[in-house]
């Protein structure tokens, strides 16, 4: 499973990461013409399957876990693109930010205050602005941040070295501010329907290469990563009509819940809340590997966590997923009500 192919993928990911560190920009994921054709196919898929348009993301900011009071809340910052913003669902409680906040509150037995600065359509070069916005309120510095980004970088032909350079800078600023950081790496664009072969293969290859490079630079800056891959689980391949929203591109409520269940254990571990240790479990195929090899392996195994160990090694973990608890009406977030359409439209 981790033979020559993984070594080759690790080498490409390391080259991209090194290019970002030293200012290189000539390493491409796939040919420019192929990526242009892929983008056209993605746009066709978003228009043609089901004929629907995903609703603008609702605002999920606010306080979650009110059953535990309002005092001494954990602060969760969310950054990234439409996936981080929650485009594709209609209720704030269905967004990744709300789902993760509810899960954190249940585990920590503390309320969780959410600030979501993610923007639909964003690429990695928007992260600097998002980090500045998140850190501008010095009275509410984040304890932990989640970054989900990368798909638009691939479809809009951003050089991968530039993409991961922006991500590394964002992680570095957040870590310097004292926040733990978890990066959900580039999702697998090969799951989009109807993107057909050979473009499906090209989309998967480009996505995985970027995801592996993102993992390397994020771990080197002190973050943990979780591979989103095919958006975290065979459920997407087996039940695409349930796991994608009406535009067949963004996740549905069920899809976001699946992703949040996979990411929650890593957030809890980063905050020291999770009851299990970082001891490797051979039964779950966990290992300590050179960071580039761990990154390449994680990119093709959705839901895999990579966290730094002793340089240049990293831990490859498959944490047990936990179901996100549903909040009762009495403990719902005070900021989770739907916004008027005009208010939400300004966030695109």
List the single range of 12-21, 70-79, 142-151 with lowest mean pLDDT: 12-21
Q: Indicate which residue of 6, 61, 82, 113 is catalytic.
A: 82
Do 93 and 57 touch, CB atoms closer than 8 A? no
Q: What is the mean pLDDT of residues 16-27?
A: 52
pLDDT above 90: percentage of residues in the chain: 39
Measured distance CA(124)–CA(213) in Å, rounded: 13
Residue 189's nearest CA partner among 347, 52, 296, 29 is: 29
How far is Cα of residue 80 from the mean position of the Cα atoms in its chain?
8
Q: 80: which strand partners?
A: 148
Quick one: pLDDT at residue 130? 98
Q: What percent of the chain has pLDDT over 70?
A: 66
295-316 tens-digit pLDDT: 988 988 888 999 998 878 999 8
Q: Is 247 a catalytic residue?
A: yes
> What does the pLDDT look like over 72-99, one tens digit per residue?
999 999 999 988 998 878 888 889 999 9
For residue 263, CA distances in Å to 109, 195, 203, 347 come to 18, 27, 23, 25
Q: Return the pLDDT at 100.
A: 95
- Beta-bridge partner residues of 316: 287, 306
Question: How do 313-317 and 224-226 pair as beta strands?
Answer: unpaired
Q: Please state the rounded mean pLDDT for residues 182-211.
A: 78
Each residue of 32-58: pLDDT tens digit?
Answer: 445 555 555 555 555 544 445 555 777
Catalytic residue among 113, 230, 250, 331: 250
| Domains of the chain: total | 1
Which residues constitute the domain of residue 185? 4-345
pLDDT, tens digit, 9 for 90 and up, residues 209-233: 999 999 999 999 999 999 987 654 4
Residue 151: count other Cβ atoms within 10 Å of its Cβ.
25
The SS3 of residue 109 is coil
Output the domain CATH number for residue 317. Answer: 3.40.50.1110
Question: Assign residue 150 a region: left if phi > 0, alpha if psi is -120 to 50, beta otherwise?
Answer: left
Over 70: is that where the pLDDT of 28 sits? Answer: no
* Whole-number Å distance between alpha carbons of 301 and 317: 11
Query: Comparing 254 with 231, which gets the higher pLDDT?
Result: 254
Q: Mean pLDDT, to the nearest integer, of 158-172? A: 95
Q: From the candidates 207, 230, 247, 331, which is the catalytic residue? A: 247
């Amino acid at each position: 499973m981790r033979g020559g192919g993984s070594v080759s993928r690790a080498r490409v990911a390391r080259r991209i990461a090194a290019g970002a560190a030293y200012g290189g920009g000539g390493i491409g994921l796939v040919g420019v013409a192929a990526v242009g054709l892929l983008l056209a196919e993605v746009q066709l898929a978003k228009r043609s399957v089901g004929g629907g348009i995903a609703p603008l993301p609702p605002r999920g900011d606010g306080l979650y876990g009110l059953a535990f009071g309002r005092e001494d809340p954990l602060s969760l910052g969310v950054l990234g693109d439409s996936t981080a913003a929650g485009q594709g669902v209609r209720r704030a409680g269905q967004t990744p930010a709300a789902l993760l906040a509810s899960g954190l509150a249940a585990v920590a037995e503390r309320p969780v205050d959410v600030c979501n600065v993610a923007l639909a359509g964003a690429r990695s070069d928007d992260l600097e602005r998002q980090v500045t916005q998140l850190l501008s309120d010095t009275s509410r510095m984040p304890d932990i941040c989640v970054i989900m980004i990368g798909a638009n970088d691939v479809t809009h032909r951003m050089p991968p070295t530039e993409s991961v350079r922006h991500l590394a800078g964002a992680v570095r600023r957040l870590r310097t501010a004292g926040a733990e950081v978890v990066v959900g790496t580039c999702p697998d664009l090969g799951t989009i329907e109807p993107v057909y072969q050979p473009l499906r293969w090209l989309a998967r290859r480009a996505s995985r290469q970027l995801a592996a490079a993102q993992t390397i630079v994020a771990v080197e800056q002190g973050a943990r990563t979780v591979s989103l891959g095919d958006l975290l689980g065979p459920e997407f391949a087996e039940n695409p009509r349930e796991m994608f929203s009406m535009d067949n591109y963004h996740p549905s409520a069920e899809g976001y819940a699946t992703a949040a269940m996979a990411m929650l254990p890593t957030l809890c571990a980063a905050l020291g809340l999770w009851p299990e240790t970082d001891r490797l479990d051979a039964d779950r195929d966990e290992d300590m590997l050179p960071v580039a090899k761990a990154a390449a392996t994680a990119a093709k195994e959705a839901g895999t966590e990579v966290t730094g160990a002793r340089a240049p090694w990293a831990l490859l973990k498959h944490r047990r997923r936990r179901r996100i608890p549903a909040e009762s009406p009495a403990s719902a977030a005070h900021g989770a009500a739907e916004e008027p359409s005009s208010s939400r439209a300004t966030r695109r």
